[in-house]
Structure 1
Amino acid sequence: MTSEILRVLALCVVLAGVETLHGILRAAVLVPRVGKGRALKVSIVTGTALAFGVCYLLVPGIGVNEPGALLAIGLALALFMASFDIVLARTLLKRPWARVFRDFDPRTGNYLSFGLLLLVVIPYAVMALR
C-alpha cells in the first residue's frame, strides 16, 4: 500500500512539472501568436494529451487495475493539480482569490475545470487501453 501511495505522489509531481512547463510555453509562445482565448482552447487539448501521456507511462507501474482504484487515482491527481494551481497562483504569481477562481470558470474562457474532470478518468482510460 505504501509503495502505491508513493508512486501516485510521484505521478502527481511529474504531472505538475509537465503541466507547469506546458503553461509557461503557452504563455511565452502561443499567447503572443494567437491570443489568450485561442491559446486557452488549444491548451486544454494539448494539456490533456500531455496528462494522458504521463499517465500512460506511469500509471501501469503503480500496479493498480481495479476501476474504482483507478478512478480514485484520477481523483487524487485532479485534487492535487487543482491545489497545485491554487498555491502557484497565490504564492508565486500573487494573484487575488477572484482571479484564481476565474481560472476554474469556463464562462470566462478558462477550461481548467474541464481538464481536471478529464484527469479523473485518464488513469482508467489508460489501463482500459492496455
Structure 2
Amino acid sequence: MSKSEIFVKAWALAKAGAARFGGSSKDYFAESLKIVYANSHVYVLDIQTSHNRPAWCARITGLSKHYGFKREFVGAYGSGRWSLKDGVYNYGRGKGDADNFVIVNKGKASFVYDDDVKLMFA
C-alpha cells in the first residue's frame, strides 16, 4: 500500500470517528494513521488449488510433540488466497502437503525450510 493510500484511508477513518463520537477529524487522525499503517503490512499468499487438492494455511505459534508445530488455521480451507500479517506460516495443498513455510515481516515474505522454523521456536 502506498503512502498516499495509507493517508486517504486514515483520513476516512478519522472522519468516521468524528462523525460517530463528535469532535474534529483532526483529533482522530493520529490514531487512525497508526491503525491503518499497522494493517497495511500484509502479504497475500496465493496458491493454485483444484477440486482434488484444496489449499490450506496455518499460522505457527510454537512447537508440538505430537504434530511438530502448534498451528492456528487461517481463513477458509480450500480458498487458496490469504492476507497474512507478520508471523510464521505453514501452507499446502491437500492432505500430507505440509512442507511449505513462509515468514512474513512488514509485508515481505521469506520462504524457508521446516528446520529454520524449528530453530525459531526452540
The structure number with the bigger radius of gyration is 2
Q: Of Structure 1 and Structure 2, which has the larger fraction of its residues in helix?
A: 1
Q: Of Structure 1 and Structure 2, which has the larger fraction of its residues in strand?
A: 2
Q: Same fold (TM over 0.5)?
A: no
TM-score, with normalisation over the residues of structure 2?
0.28
Structure showing greater relative contact order (alpha-carbon pairs closer than 8 Å, 6 or more residues apart):
1
